[in-house]
Each structure stands twice: as structure tokens, then as C-alpha cells.
Amino acid sequence: MDELAYETEVDNGIKFLNQRVPGWAELVDLERLDLGAGDHCALAQADQSTFGQAIRRLAGMTSKSAEGRAWAVNHGFMLPGIEHFTLGASNKAYARLTATWRTKIAELLRGAP
């Protein structure tokens, strides 16, 4: 996923949450939002649980399975192959992903299309 793809992936995640958790954006604390800390991501906050519980309950898969990780990547909840990043690169990539989510959620809360 490159930086330009973040928007596409996050849009996928937003569509999923809109279908599964109506009003989810109001449950997300933008100050706490951090995609690099799984339990602070939009999925976990929308479900008011942990990332593992949320992916199991809302998407019907486990976060540790290849299928679950691929789903999470395709929906902007995690980055692919993050184990190959250095810690600094990982932090920067997750900061960009979090910023994309923060912007999109703020737009939803303001009622932007």
C-alpha cells in the first residue's frame, strides 16, 4: 500500500464500518486514534473493544490469520508487511495512515460528502 492507496483503503474501511456499525464515527476518539496501536484504531474504537475482538465480531475472521491481516490491510486498519519496516519507517507509515483516518472521520463528523 503506498501513500496514495491509503485513501482507497481507508474508504474501504469507512464503507465497511458504515454498513456494520451505524454512527461509528461518533464513537472514535480522534485524540486517541492511532492505527499503529491496534486497540486504538478506528475498528476497535467503533466496536468498543480490542482490534482482535472487533475483527472477529465484525468481519468474522481472526487478526492473526493471513486472511484477517489481508482484510485489515485492504480496509486501512493495518499496513502490509510491516515486519519488514524499520521502527522509524513503521512509525512514519502508521502516522500517515492515522492522519488519513483522522481527516476522513473529521469530514464525516462535519457532514462532508
Q: What does the pLDDT read at residue 85?
A: 45
Output the pLDDT for position 98: 94
Report the pLDDT value the prediction gives residue 90, as an integer from 0 to 100.
Answer: 76
The confidence band for 81, taking pLDDT boundaries of 50, 70 and 90, is confident
Position 21 scores a pLDDT of 97
Kindly indicate the confidence band of residue 80, based on its pLDDT and cuts at 50, 70 and 90.
confident
Q: What is the mean pLDDT of the chain?
A: 88
Domains of the chain, by residue range, sit at: 5-110
The C-alpha atoms of residue 54 and residue 67 are separated, in whole angstroms, by: 15
Q: Who contacts 13 (Cβ-Cβ below 8 Å, separation ≥6)?
A: 42, 43, 75, 76, 77, 101
Statement: residue 112 has pLDDT above 80 = no
Identify which of 54, 61, 60, 52 has the alpha carbon closest to the alpha carbon of residue 27: 54
